[in-house]
Structure 1
Amino acid sequence: MEWPSKFSILLLDIEGTTTSISFVKDVLFPYVTENIGRYAMELYETEEFQADLEAMRHLSLQESNSDREVVRIPTDDKCAAVDALVQNVKHWVQTDKKLTALKQLQGHMWRDAYESHIIKGQ
């Protein structure tokens, strides 16, 4: 197998390997649910966040067909979009959904928190 030149290793999962499961459950997941609104408002105009928001918007359209708790994320109002995003993220984290768009957003939030020294590994 040939790896892309940008990468020297492929790390598939760290939970319970390099980071304790309790740290993930007690620190990382709550960080997302407690800070998603602030994060969204601060980074709303960035290209990365807009890509995350678009993925979450698409996901909300799909998931709202089978889950009444999911709110469709509007495209025309920043505050309404952030409110819907916050509601969906909290719901999906609470119900332990394994959704690609959610995991991508969580990863971006955690990276930002680690780089800002808001979160430190244990």
Structure 2
Amino acid sequence: MKPIAIITDIEGTTSSIRFVRDILFVYAEQFLPDFIRKHKEERDVARQLRSLSDNTGIPLKNTEALIEQLRKWMREDNKSTELKALQGMVWEMGYQRGEYQAHIYPDVPDKLREWQNAGINLYVYSSGSEKAQRLFFRYSVFGDLRLLFAGHFDTSIGPKQDPQSYQNLVDWIALPPADILFLSDVEAELDAAASVGIKTVWVLRPQESGTDITKLRSKHPMVTSFKDIKLEDL
């Protein structure tokens, strides 16, 4: 039976990891420290800094130590919710200035529209904050794609390789897990989703990994493009 809802990852799935790594991460690394110094008293920034202080024990008044912790996490590609939220604020500045547009693979927009037109609800689950996800699809190379999605989820719902996170998604979407399809380029995420009964497809783009899927074995159906996803065969 075809899924009623589809959840997609972003990095490596709808979009190039290289864009996130070489453009967005570099931009955040360059501008995040001064952004925090300038905006630390504003509500949204202050909320994240307070949470960061609570979780690390770094005094809230020690702005430079908080910044250094964030810079350390950026170097480690830590998925901290506070870091992702603050990165999203900096990325918004870059998008609005026209510094870059979010990369989307050419096969993605038409397939998403096809699924939406078929009555399938589309969602995003990514380690980037919900705000960063919306910015990503608003300022894409294919224009504003936000209306394609019924909702966005980030790590506030749980880590992406934790089965409980996918049970939380099932509970939120309020559908049987067998009616939900999850798309990702990370097998461990797919394993976690499958463990609670969600259908899965492993998106292995040769541009990202150089992997020949004909030489792989997996319990997850494998594709190299959204065009190859046949919902009726799942």
Q: Does the TM-score normalized on the shorter chain lie above 0.5?
A: yes
- Contact kept? 1:32, 1:109, Cα under 8 Å: yes
Partner of 1:58: 54
Matches within 5 A, 1:76-87: 76=61, 80-81=62-63, 83-87=64-68
- Contact kept? 1:39, 1:109, Cα under 8 Å: yes
Gap regions ≥5 residues in structure 2:
104-234
Shift of 1:17: 3.2
Which of 29, 35, 53 is the aligned partner of 2:31? 35
Q: Does 1:101 find its partner at 2:82?
A: yes
Provide the C-alpha distance between the structure 1 equivalents of 2:65 and 2:71, rounded to a whole number of angstroms.
10
Which of 17, 24, 28 is the aligned partner of 1:21? 17
Partner of 1:45: 41
Gap regions ≥5 residues in structure 1:
1-8, 62-71
Partner of 1:67: none
CA shift in 2, pair 1:92/1:116, >3 Å: same
Which of 82, 90, 93 is the aligned partner of 1:112? 93
RMSD (Å) for aligned C-alpha atoms: 2.3
Q: What residue identity is the alignment partner of 2:20?
A: V
Which of 75, 90, 115 is the aligned partner of 2:60? 75
- In terms of fraction of residues, the more strand-rich structure is 2
Partner of 1:91: 72
Provide the C-alpha distance between the structure 1 equivalents of 2:16 and 2:89, rounded to a whole number of angstroms.
20
CA shift in 2, pair 1:34/1:11, >3 Å: farther
- In terms of fraction of residues, the more helix-rich structure is 1
Partner of 1:4: none
Partner of 1:65: none
Which is greater in Rg? 2
Q: What TM-score, normalized to structure 1?
A: 0.67
Shift of 1:59: 2.4
CA shift in 2, pair 1:22/1:105, >3 Å: same
Give structure 1 regions of 4+ aligned residues with deviation exceeding 6 angstroms: none
Moved more, 44-53 or 9-18: 9-18
Q: What TM-score, normalized to structure 2?
A: 0.38
CA shift in 2, pair 1:99/1:10, >3 Å: farther
The percentage of counterpart residues that share the same residue type is 30
CA shift in 2, pair 1:11/1:31, >3 Å: farther
Provide the C-alpha distance between the structure 1 equivalents of 2:35 and 2:7, rounded to a whole number of angstroms.
26
Shift of 1:26: 0.6
Provide the C-alpha distance between the structure 1 equivalents of 2:85 and 2:92, rounded to a whole number of angstroms.
11
